[in-house]
Structure formats: C-alpha cells, structure tokens
Chains A and B, each alone.
Chain A
Amino acid sequence: MAEVDEASKPLFAGLSDVSISEDIPVEGEITVPVGSPSHDDEYSTLDEPVKETILRDLKAVGKKFGHVMYPKKSTTLLRDWDLWGPLLLCVTLALMLQGGSADSKEDGGPQFAEVFVIIWFGSVIITLNSKLLGGTISFFQSLCVLGYCILPLTVAMIVCRLVLLGGTGTASFIVRFIVVVASFGWSTFASTAFLADSQPPNRKALVVYPVFLFYFVISWMIVTFSPSHSDGATDTGP
C-alpha cells in the first residue's frame, strides 16, 4: 500500500476530520514487529507472558467476587460474564461436600457428580425459565450471576467444616444452621439484586422463586453435611 496522500487533497478533505490528524505522520511499515511496545487499541494478548494472562482472568474473577459480597445494582457481573468463577465455586463446594457420613456406601451425602449436576442443571433450568417468562438477560449472563452468587454458600461450607472440627453437638449444629441461613439469605438477595431488573415487572416473583428454591436446596445439602466416622474417606468420586 502506498502512503496515504496528504489530507489537503480536496477529494479526501473530509477524512482529516474523521480520523487522521495532520500532526501524526501516517507512514510506517506494514510488518508487525515482534514484541512491539506500541499501545494502540488492538492490544494483542497473544504475545504477553502467561502470568499476565492468568492474573488478568483471576483479577476479573476476584472483582466479581467482590461484587457478590457487596451487592449493589451494578452491571459488571452482567456485562463481562465469565464462567470461571462459577466453575471454581462449584468444584470447591462439591469437593467439600465429600468425605461425609458414609457408613454404608449406598446412602449418604450427595456424590460429587450429584452436586455438579444440581448446580449446573439447576442454573440452566432457572435461566431457561426466566427467558421463557420474557426476561431480557442473556443465557450465559444468567448462568454467570447464579454461579457467582453461590460464593456466600461456599464460604458457609468452609465455616461449617471448621465448626465440625470442633464437635458435632447441638451447639455446633445451631451455629452451622445460623451461618447457613445467613448465607442463604445473602445469596438470594445478591442474585435478585442482579437479576431483578431484567424481568418484566409483573412476573418478578415467578422468576425469583426458582432462584430461592435453588439456593435452598444447596443450603440444605450444606446444613445436613455430617462428617464421616470411619477412618478413610469413602469418597468414590464422580
């Protein structure tokens, strides 16, 4: 390609107003130099160090965690959705629900796969439900919000396991119950803060109820978690 002509040509007079200022020389090379330090709009992420890539995603996930813990009506969760956070939370929760009471292998707490299926399948069903009722939120945005709002319940699970280390009596049950109820309320409140605006006004309750049921079931799984009495964990995995 030849150099761009001077902007003084009458045919292209309009161009100078649009894009090119006369001060900046517009001649250059056509080859992209490797490791170029130029910071124009199209920053190529292909050449950055791996640590930066991972850190950027982790920072995005961490920022969204912060939004869940202090739910305000912001659109960050909705705008830049990602499913890393929900996956992380889901795996953590499912792992911590293992090693539960398992005198017999037949009954006991939910298996890893069951927790996974409930969380992801439940989120998909709730998203479909809200879209069928006329919601304007997109599919993955809704999955993102529902997954991120599991964070308070995961924190409650960690607290429960710590409390269970101290004993399994009535006092520990009361403490665990209160913690789980509080985090259940927090999760439901956080997710409705993000989701409520995208629903038609006379159907809000119809959309919020399944979310309530979803977090209720997860809270139930956390509250009824009772530690194993046998020596080795009979966790058989998925």
Chain B
Amino acid sequence: MAAVDGLQFQEFDDAENLLGANRDATTISIGDPNEKPTNQRRSLGNSPREEDDDLLGNADSDKTELLAGQRKSAAFWTFEYYQKFFDVDTYQVLDRIKGSVLPLPGKNFVRLYIRSNPDLYGPFWICATLVFAIAISGNISNFLVHLGQPQYHYMPEFRKVTIAATAIYSYAWLVPLALWGFLMWRNSKVMNIVSYSFLEIVCVYGYSLFIYIPAAILWIIPIEWVRWITILVAMCLSGSVLVITFWPAVRDDNRRIAIATISAIIILHALLAVGCKAYFFDVPQIEVPGVSGSIASVPRFC
C-alpha cells in the first residue's frame, strides 16, 4: 500500500501492478471484467480502423484463450460439462440476438458478444423456433393461397415439420463443423491470427438464423415480390454478420481461398433461405397441384 500523505488524493495503481508489488495484498476489482475491454473497443470503434480492432481482438483473444483454458475442468460425460454452455442470462441472449441482426462494420460478433462464453441455448432454440415457424407459416400461406379453390382440401401437412427440422439442424451444425475443420486446416498452413473454436462458430451460425424467423412469418403474405424482398433483406443482414465475423479469419490466407470461403458461406446461407421458401411455400397465382405431390417419395415418419 502506498503511504497515505495526509488527505491528498492519491492515484492507486491498477490491481495487477499492486499485486505485482505486494503479492499478499488483497485487491477488489469492481465491475464485470468483461465490460472494460468492450468499452475500450467501443470508444475506438467510433473511428473504425480495422487494424486497431484486430489488434484489440488479438490481445483479447490471447487473454480469452487463457481464461477459457482455466474453465475446462469437467469431463465430457458429466452434466457439469454441458452446464458450461448454458451459462447465459436473459439479457445476454437478447444482446446476442440483437447483434446478429444489426451488423456493425468493424464489430466482430464473436469478439463483441460471445467473448469466450459460447452458449448452446441460442443456437438450439432459435433452430427449433425456426423449424416450427417455417412449417406453420408454410401451412398458413398454402391455406391462404388456395383459399378460393374448391378442389383444395386443407391438410395440416405435419410431415413437413420433420423435413424442416432435418434441414435446419443439419445446416446449423454440419456447416459450422465443415467450416471449423477447414479453418483449422488452413491454420496449420498459414499462421492466422484470429481463430475461432467450434462452439463459437456454431454460436454465430445459430444466432445468424434468427433473422429468418420474422422472415418466415412475413412469407405468409401471398405476394411473390414481397417474399423475395424479405429474403434479400434477411440475407443481407445476417450474411453480413457472418462475413464480418469470418473475414478476419481468412484474410491472411491466399487471396483466392479467402474469397472462395466467404462466397461459400454466403451461398450456403442463401441456399437455405431460398430452399425453404421454395419447398414450404406454394407460389401464388400459379396452379401448383399441391406440394404434397413432391414429397410422395418421402418415407413415412412412423
């Protein structure tokens, strides 16, 4: 402790420096340790220079790597191991959702929101909600499209839920797996500074699917150009979040591979949206003899 000099105001050193001087001293750090670097980044983000952001991200990544390493104590067959991935509060989930639909240039989703605390709650329940949103909206929209036609008999088409579930969960888990494997492989060849763990990639992809939930609800409107505009807007928003997240990871690589990776990410994202729209939502004003004909070859669920 520094000597008290009357009642003069004294600058006390940082907690780390104090501990460095006197190992036995007790220091209190007030506030969330995660908040401080965020504030630093936000103040720097006003004049966005990508190098600064990356430098902060690099330093942060070193620190967060260390912090993350200290937490992996439970074995993977225990319950506590999985409880680590649900260590989020309501406001954190809402913040992450907000961050996934509002891409800010220079603000990396993983660095800003995930911050070495990837959760599985968001990806899992957003995918579940999306599955049911698409199935239910598709059902409603088909009903509205075929409303006046006497030969159309309304059917709940429950089979489509399982198809939607398979498609969406495969996208949300297999594509991150492939991307993570690819990035790891490139990491071994080219020394990339920024690297993401598998769960962080799953997190980004899961939260990026959130924009499709209101899009699916808007697809109920049986007007074709409205649907296409909705797809475009949704894709731009969440696609740009993905691009901003993964561009630093491939930027140092061979130019062509970097571009190819980013294009693959965008194309797959677009493919999911367009595929869901084409399969689950009948096109209005064109006499389509029911989508049920096209899934006649699908094996029965039970």
Contacts and interface: CB of A to CB of B under 8 A. Distances in A.
A4 interface: no
Contacts of A205: 90
Interface residues of B, number: 31
A40 to B, nearest CB: 40
Contacts of A216: 132
Contacts of A87: none
A107 B301 contact: no
Nearest to A108: B155
Contacts of B296: 106
B158 A108 contact: yes
Interface stretch (A47-55, A153-161, A183-191, A218-226): A218-226
B156 A224 contact: yes
Nearest to A122: B128
A106 B298 CA distance: 9
Contacts of B121: 129, 132-133, 206
A8 B83 CA distance: 58
Contacts of A147: none
Interface residues of A, number: 35
Contacts of A220: 132, 136
Interface in A221-238: 221, 224-226, 229, 238
Contacts of A213: 125, 128-129, 132
Contact of A106 (B85, B154, B159): B159
Nearest to B300: A106
Interface string B196-209: 00000000000000
Contacts of A98: none
Contacts of B292: 104, 106-107
A127 interface: no
Contacts of A100: 156
B90 A221 contact: no
Interface in B140-198: 153-159
B278 interface: no
Contacts of B300: 106
A113 interface: yes
B125 A221 contact: no
B44 interface: no
Counting chain A CB atoms within 10 Å of each CB, the highest count among B82, B88, B155 belongs to B155
Interface string B266-302: 0000000000000000000000000010011010111
B86 interface: yes
B91 interface: yes
Contact of B153 (A101, A202, A203, A238): A101
Contact of B88 (A104, A110, A112, A206): A206
B89 A114 contact: no
B93 interface: yes
Interface string B73-93: 000000100110110111101
Interface in A103-140: 103-104, 106-114, 129, 131-134
Given A213-B128, A213-B132, A221-B156, A111 B90 contact: no
B139 interface: yes
A209 interface: yes
Given A101-B153, A202-B90, A113 B302 contact: yes
A109 B153 contact: no
25 contacts: A100-B156, A101-B153, A101-B156, A104-B155, A106-B292, A107-B156, A107-B158, A108-B156, A111-B302, A132-B121, A202-B90, A203-B88, A203-B90, A205-B90, A206-B93, A209-B125, A210-B128, A213-B125, A213-B128, A213-B129, A216-B132, A217-B132, A224-B139, A226-B155, A238-B302
Given A107-B158, A203-B88, A229-B153, 17 more contacts: A101-B153, A103-B153, A106-B159, A106-B298, A108-B157, A109-B155, A109-B158, A110-B158, A112-B302, A129-B121, A132-B83, A132-B85, A203-B89, A205-B90, A206-B93, A216-B132, A217-B132
